[in-house]
A and B are shown apart, each in its own frame.
Chain A
């Protein structure tokens, strides 16, 4: 396993890393998955979603990735007719936003830990609560913000000329 590239979230006016995959829940509930191609061990899900919390509601406002067909993915690949914004009403649960310096790097999933986590609890796409979890104080030279250490990448099937 490799540490995974985060989702992106506009939260309280800032772009931050989101260490949760709300679109996975959409697919788990039966939403049609167009089939994303993974070209990196750091992105097994094959896409990066751009999210926004606006008026305490979670929206998906962008989607980047490559489909198994070789075409570029967009919001309309998953939500036809919605090219700019999708209300994530299917999502209930907790979302994690890391803050501060890194305490410990773990080369798996979103397992690395940071000085603080903002934990948002949502129900049907609406933010119910926000809490801040303090995890500790990092060393002075610890890196700031979410990042991943290493990955293996390979060309997309389309670029490689395979069918």
Chain B
């Protein structure tokens, strides 16, 4: 019997703890005009449900099954951390191992000249994408070297693409970059 009381007291301590965390987090949005306008005014029945019945049921469940609530809470926090890391990893960066060869603007413009027998492309480096190239050149950090790069990239949606392009390299910094090709590797068409 004593173990049952210990279990329930532990559940009550856990309930007080998570209620405190809830109150602290609620401060961030309780004055939100948007939320107020969405909620409108509550009827007496809804007020009773929201302020009394739901908290009573929730609190009772937490006290009775606090280990499950604790495991769920820890799992949620771990999932949130993993999701944050996954999104950070999905932000494209050129890594040192992606660099292929150092080159020059002159060399790149010589190979990026596009010829079309129907003259359906501007007579400029990178053709219709010349404005992208010009913008990239204008963003050159002082003293940076021009490198070609190639890598695979996994998007936040999980799609893998092969990417090629050019990047300005200055010491350990590899940015900004310009893509010249991006091809999906995990599907054969759109």
Q: Which A residues are closer than 8 A to B by beta carbons?
A: 19-21, 24-26, 28-32, 54-55, 57, 59, 79, 81-82, 84-87, 89-90, 92-96, 109-110, 117, 119, 124
Interface string of B91-128 (1 = CB under 8 A from A): 00000000000000000000000101110111000011
Could you list 7 further interchain pairs (A-B, Cβ under 8 angstroms) beyond the known A87-B114, A87-B116?
A: A19-B189, A30-B129, A59-B118, A81-B122, A89-B116, A93-B184, A124-B114
Tell me if A31 and B128 are in contact (CB < 8 A): yes
Instruction: Let me know if B137 is at the binding interface, CB within 8 A.
Output: no
Among listed B30-38, B67-75, B173-181, interface-contacting one = B173-181
Q: For B114, what are the chain A residues with a Cβ–Cβ distance below 8 Å? A: 87, 89, 124
Q: Do the beta carbons of B182 and A25 come within 8 Å of each other?
A: yes
Residues from chain A with Cβ under 8 Å of B188 in the complex: 94, 96, 119
**27 A–B contacts from the bound complex (CB under 8 Å):** A25-B182, A26-B128, A29-B129, A29-B132, A29-B180, A30-B135, A30-B179, A31-B132, A57-B116, A59-B118, A79-B128, A86-B120, A86-B128, A87-B118, A87-B120, A87-B121, A89-B114, A89-B121, A92-B183, A93-B189, A96-B188, A96-B189, A96-B190, A110-B189, A110-B190, A117-B189, A124-B114
Tell me the nearest residue of chain B to A119, going by C-beta: B188
The residue among A19, A82, A119 with the most chain B CB atoms within 10 A of its own CB is A82
Chain B contacts for A86, CB-based, 8 A: 120-121, 128
Smallest CB separation, B156 vs chain A (Å): 14
Contacts A57-B116, A110-B190 known; A89 to B179 CB distance under 8 Å? Answer: no
Is residue B131 contacting chain A, with contact meaning CB distance below 8 A? yes
B151 to chain A, nearest CB (A): 15
Interface bracket on B: 20 to 34
Which of B118, B121, B131, B181 contacts A32 (CB under 8 A)? B131
**Which B residues fall within an 8 A CB radius of A?**
114, 116-118, 120-122, 127-129, 131-132, 135, 178-184, 188-190
Q: Which residue of A lies closest to B189 (CB)?
A: A96
* A119 cross-chain contacts in B, Cβ below 8 A: 188-189
Which chain B residue lies CB-closest to A82? B120
How many angstroms from the CA of A20 to the CA of B187 in the assembled complex? 11
If A28-B179, A96-B189 touch, whether A90 touches B118 (CB-CB below 8 Å) is no
A82-B130 Cα distance, complex, nearest whole Å? 14
Enumerate chain A residues within 8 angstroms of B135, measured Cβ to Cβ. 30
Say whether A54 contacts B128, CB under 8 Å.
no
CB distance from B115 to the nearest CB of A (A): 9
Closest to A117 in B: B189
Chain A residues, CB < 8 A from B180: 29
Residue of A nearest to B112 (CB): A89
Q: Which residues of A contact B121 (CB under 8 A)?
A: 86-87, 89
Instruction: Give A85's nearest chain B residue, CB to CB.
Output: B120
